[in-house]
Amino acid sequence: MTQERDHPLHFSIHSRLRLAHLRRLMPPAAGGRLLDVGCGLGYLTMALGEGYRCVGLDADFGSVNANRQRGLPGMVQGRLDRLPFADDTFAVAICSEVLEHLPDGADAAALAEIARVVQPGGRILVTVPALEGVRATSRLRNLGHDDPNGGEYHYRMGYAWQDLATLIAGIPGLQVATHRYAMFLLSELAMDLLKWVYFKQNSLKEHAHIMDTKNTPLFRIYRRLFPLMHLVFVLEDRLLASWLKGHIHILALERVADGRGRS
């Protein structure tokens, strides 16, 4: 979907590195249905949804309304732990940078609901912040995510792999197909610097406010520099992130037909 290139998140270091990994894990569309749970401003729905009949769901009405105003179809407001869809509806589901926003127990409930609405043999793509790596507990890393009244609040800084594997193992019918880390030192430092600059000038109370950044002079300058930065960070990611453990867990989960999952 070409709209993705006009989206501010197309120039996000974090979003683009996630997208590259998720794109490799996507199954062939084959006319299936795709659910983007916690879709936010619809960037991954657009970037990964070509060939699918897409539905984006988010609890935040501001984000859903912003998506509708931009002409994105299939946008639904709803609770992540009580999805308004029948069993076995979707061939693939995306749950990217969502579970850390949910209180303890609600993350497991949301993942169980996603498993319920995905067809046997279907795939669930998950990304969450990792608690491994050299900057796992950096204060800058949590910038913008520590305000309970903000639109980007995190109930936890991330997941250690063992805790994440235990969470998945507790969901009947899920198994881990692949797991790796993404983002390492330079990309994460650059992301934190950009967040610091942004929060010095803005107050991100709603996720939809991100859309306003593309009209600022600073963003236009950054957009011109981004291709070179992106190349450096992709090289770092491929060479170091999985080996030295990076900022994000990238997982492909599979819904098994017999209802017994394993991790």
pLDDT over 80 (residue 7) = yes
Residues 77-127 pLDDT 10s: 999 999 999 999 999 999 999 999 999 999 999 999 999 999 999 999 999
Say if residues 249 and 128 touch (Cβ distance below 8 Å): yes
Instruction: Count the neighbouring beta carbons within 10 Å of the beta carbon of residue 230.
Output: 16
Note the pLDDT tens digit of each residue in 238-256: 999 888 898 899 999 999 9
| CA nearest neighbour of 142 among 153, 128, 126 | 153
Residue 259: pLDDT over 60:
no
DSSP track, 40-60: TTSHHHHHH-TTSEEEEEES-
Question: How does pLDDT run across 195-220, given as a tens digit for each residue?
Answer: 777 666 665 555 555 656 666 777 78
Look up residue 213 and give its two tokens: 């950044």
pTM for the complete prediction?
A: 0.87
Does residue 32 have a pLDDT over 60? yes
Domain residue spans of the chain: 2-255
Going by pLDDT thresholds of 50, 70 and 90, the confidence category of residue 262 is very low
Write out the DSSP string of 197-237.
HHHHH----SGGGGGGGGGSHHHHHHHHHHHHHHHHHHHHI
For all residues of the chain together, what is the average pLDDT?
86
Contact 122, 255 (CB under 8 A): yes
Residue 141 DSSP SS3 = helix
- What phi, psi does 185 have (nearest 5°)? -75, -60
Q: Please give the Cα distance from 105 to 167 (Å, whole number).
A: 10
CATH T-level fold of 2-255? Rossmann fold (3.40.50)
Q: Distance between CA 43 and CA 49 in Å, rounded?
A: 10
Give the range among 133-142, 170-179, 229-238, 254-263 with minimum mean pLDDT.
Answer: 254-263
Q: In what order do the strands lie in the sheet with 118-129?
A: 75-77, 53-58, 33-37, 90-96, 118-129, 248-255, 174-182
